[in-house]
Amino acid sequence: MNNLFGTLLSKISSFGSGADNSAVGIDIGSSAIKVVEIKIKGGKTILETYGSIALGPFDNLDAGRVTNLSVEKISKALKEVLKQSGVTATSTAFSIPVQSSLIFTIELPALVKESEISTIIPTEARKYIPLPITEISLDYFVLPKKESSFEEMNTVVDNSETPQKPKEKINVLVVATQNDAISKYRSIVSQCQLTASFFEIEIFSSIRANFEHELSPVLLMDFGASRTKLSIVEFGMIKSYHTINRGGADITDSISKSLSIPFSEAEKMKKEFGLFGNPVEKSLSNIMEIHIDYIFSETNNVLLEYERKYHRIISKVIFTGGGALLKGLSEVAANNFRAEIEIGHPFSKVTTPVFLQKVLGAIGPEFAVALGLALRNLQKNS
C-alpha cells in the first residue's frame, strides 16, 4: 500500500499563533497553472501572493486552449509564473489531475479489523481498476461511521415496507493514481528545483477550499477547461464522483467555429457576454447554451442516481473552477436544479488586503485548488 498522498482530507483547523510559516499550492491544469502562497502571521492566515499563467502559448496555441505539454515545457511555465508572482517559499504542494486517477468506495464487513484494511484494499481495488495493480499507487480513507448510520436511518424511513436489517459495513474511500502521472510531477518538481511536501488529487484540494461545515449532501461542480468534475460531498467526504468530458475550451471552440472567428476572439466574447448574449451577435448565447444544457442534463442524471441510491436530496450546488465565472451560469442553473446555487469564494478562508477583495472575489473559483493545497501545506508546516 503506497500512502503517497498522506491523509486525503486533512481537516483545516485553527493554525498556531506566533509562527511565521509560508506554504505554496501549485495547480497545473490543462490550460493554465495557478499558484497561491499563504503564510501565518499574528495567528492569522495571510495571502502573500498568487499568480496564473496560460499554457497555450508554450505550445504555440492560444491562451485558453487545452494542452498536453512535455515536462520541460510545463517546468518552464511554472518557473515563469513563480517568478512573476514573486513566490518565495520553497515548501510546495502539487495537485494531481483527476483524470490520472480513479476514485471509488469499497464496502467491507464490519468485522474487518482496522489493521487488516491495508492488506484487503489492494485485492478489492482490482475489481475497479482496469490497469495492473503494479502501475498504480493506492491511498484510502475509512469514512466516518456516523455518515453510514445517518444514511441507514433515512433508508429505513423511506423503505418502511422492507425488513429492517442492519447494514454492518465499513465504507472505505479509495484513490488509485497512475504511477506515470506521479513520476511526471516528480520530474517537474526536480526540474524547477522545488521540494514537494505532498501530491493531492485536485478535487480534495477544491473541497477543502470551498467547503465550510455543510452536513447535508452538497454537489461541487468544478468547471474546467477540458472537463466538468462532479463531486457529491456529505459530512466532508466524497460520496460520489463523476466526470463530464466537456469544459470551457469546448464552448470557446464552438463559438470560434460557428462564428468563423479566431479562438482568442471567441474566448474574449465568451467572458465578456456569457449566457446573457451579445446584442450584435445574437446566436452567441445559443451556441453556449447547447454545451451548458448538456452539462446540466448529465449532472441531473448523476443527482437522480445518487438520490435513488441513498434517499438523500442535494441541498446545495457550489460552482468552482474557471468556468464558474461564466456570466449567467448561476441564473440558468437555478432553473435546472432544485437546490441553492452558490459560487465558491475560496479566498474568504484567508486574510486579504481590502483593495484586492473585489478582484479576489471575482477570480476566486479559478484558484480553489491552489489555495486548498496551500491551506493543507501550511497546516502541515505549523
pLDDT above 70 (res 98)? yes
pLDDT above 70 (res 380)? yes
| Structural domains of the chain ordered from first start | 22-253+283-381 (3.30.420.380)
Which pLDDT belongs to residue 195? 93
Give the SS3 label for residue 358: helix
Note the pLDDT tens digit of each residue in 132-180.
Answer: 888 999 998 887 765 443 334 343 334 444 444 555 688 888 999 999 9
pLDDT above 90 (res 12)? no
pLDDT above 80 (res 122)? yes
Work out the angle at residue 216's Cα, subtended by the Cα atoms of residues 210 and 219, and round it to the nearest 5 degrees.
50
Span of 52-66, 72-86, 125-139 with lowest mean pLDDT: 125-139
Note the pLDDT tens digit of each residue in 328-364.
Answer: 999 999 999 999 999 999 999 999 999 999 999 999 9
CA 260 to CA 135: how far, in whole Å? 44
pLDDT range class, residue 276, cuts 50, 70, 90: confident
Percent of the chain having pLDDT more than 90?
Answer: 67
Which pLDDT belongs to residue 355? 92
User: By the 8 A CB rule, do 69 and 137 touch?
Assistant: no
Span of 13-17, 158-162, 308-312, 349-353 with lowest mean pLDDT: 13-17
Decide which of 279 and 306 is more confident. 306
pLDDT above 90 (res 368)? yes
Which pLDDT belongs to residue 110? 85
Which pLDDT belongs to residue 228? 97
Which pLDDT belongs to residue 209? 96
Pairing of strands 22-28, 32-41: antiparallel
pLDDT above 80 (res 17)? no
Task: Kindly state the average pLDDT of the residues 45-51.
Answer: 96
The DSSP secondary structure of 52-96, one letter per residue, reads: EEESGGGGT--TT------HHHHHHHHHHHHHHHT----EEEEEE
Closest CA to 182 of 123, 234, 135, 127: 135
Note the pLDDT tens digit of each residue in 220-245.
Answer: 999 999 999 999 998 878 888 999 99
Report the mean per-residue pLDDT for the chain: 87
Which pLDDT belongs to residue 168? 67
Closest CA to 104 of 75, 131, 124, 82: 124
Span of 84-93, 137-146, 254-263 with lowest mean pLDDT: 137-146
Which pLDDT belongs to residue 3? 39
Note the pLDDT tens digit of each residue in 200-226.
Answer: 999 999 999 999 877 789 999 999 999
